[in-house]
A and B are shown apart, each in its own frame.
Chain A
Amino acid sequence: MRTKSDFPNINAKKPDGMRPEGTPFRVLIVDDSMFVAKQISQILNSEGFEIIGTAKDGLEGVEKYKELHPNVDLVTMDITMPNMDGVTALKNIVEFDPKAVVIMISALGKQELVKQSLLAGAKNYIVKPLDRVKVLERITSVLKNL
């Protein structure tokens, strides 16, 4: 019988969601769309990230961030959400923790808001529709440059 050990190279690549010492990066997902939140968690889970929390709007996102701090390594932040939009939530999080790592998730057509977010301290952005390669590329490039 062949076991995994017969194919040592297949799984040799270190998952993107792990730090060099083997602990996962912890992610807070802020998105009002259940579909998008699920898509992001599936992509990140498959690479070993740990989804430490999810929030349905900006207000809840800010609260969760404060509650989980300093145990959040990365926030994915939707832009258009009810109660509090993503740009305002980003500003609140950065005010609370200037070292916060926030990546904006945007639909096309929100260039102005993306620009505002980057000026307000977002580290990068991803435009929907999301695909695995795009999401992982943007997130790992941010984490590498910390």
Chain B
Amino acid sequence: MRVEYINPFVEAAFDVLKEVLNTDIKRGELYLKSTSKPVLGVATIIGLAGDVEGRILLDMAPDTALKIASAMNMEELKELDELGKATITELANMITGQAVTKLHDLGFRFDLTPPSIVTGKDMVISDSGVEALIVPIHLPQGKVEINVAIKEKA
């Protein structure tokens, strides 16, 4: 996977998180994750299909998801209920929307699927034939991982 695919997502995540949470954020080191490693617990998945194909995962611990959803709703949510999940999904929508604009400007053409959110302990997401690149982003609410697995269409 080419690193240039992940940068627009990281930049978009930075911009959007900064804007909606109104807070300072730090970017961690890029790393590769083998697909047999479990995700953090609340994962929003958006699929890509077109010149390139794959998926984006916005991954975070349940506690972080709850804190982010609470901050975005300006009220304390007690659990990640329907509203909480809709909030995290919308966050993923805003980030990918912005990233895709950047990728389209670079000449890539593809469509996105609507986001799905999955929650649970020790979930493993498997992508055949493409490794996932991950950039952790550190917020006061915890860590959010931008997990991108994209390949050019064969």
List chain A positions with a Cβ less than 8 A from chain B: 33-36, 38, 80, 82, 107-111, 128-129
Contacts and interface: CB of A to CB of B under 8 A. Distances in A.
A129 B91 CA distance: 9
B86 A80 contact: no
A33 B90 contact: yes
B73 A109 contact: no
Contact of A129 (B16, B86, B100): B16
Contacts of B119: none
B94 A35 contact: no
13 contacts: A34-B82, A35-B83, A35-B87, A36-B86, A107-B96, A107-B98, A108-B97, A108-B98, A109-B96, A109-B112, A110-B97, A128-B90, A129-B19
A109 B97 contact: yes
Contact of A128 (B82, B86, B97, B104): B97
Given A33-B89, A107-B93, A129-B94, A82 B114 contact: yes
Interface of B: 16, 19-20, 72-73, 82-83, 86-87, 89-90, 93-94, 96-101, 104, 112, 114
B71 to A, nearest CB: 12
Top-6 shortest CB links A-B: A107-B97, A34-B86, A109-B100, A35-B86, A109-B97, A35-B87
| Majority DSSP secondary structure for residues of B touching A | helix
Contacts of B87: 35
A109 B98 contact: yes
A38 B100 CA distance: 26
Contacts of B98: 107-109
Contacts of A33: 86, 89-90, 93
Given A34-B82, A34-B83, A35-B73, A108 B90 contact: no
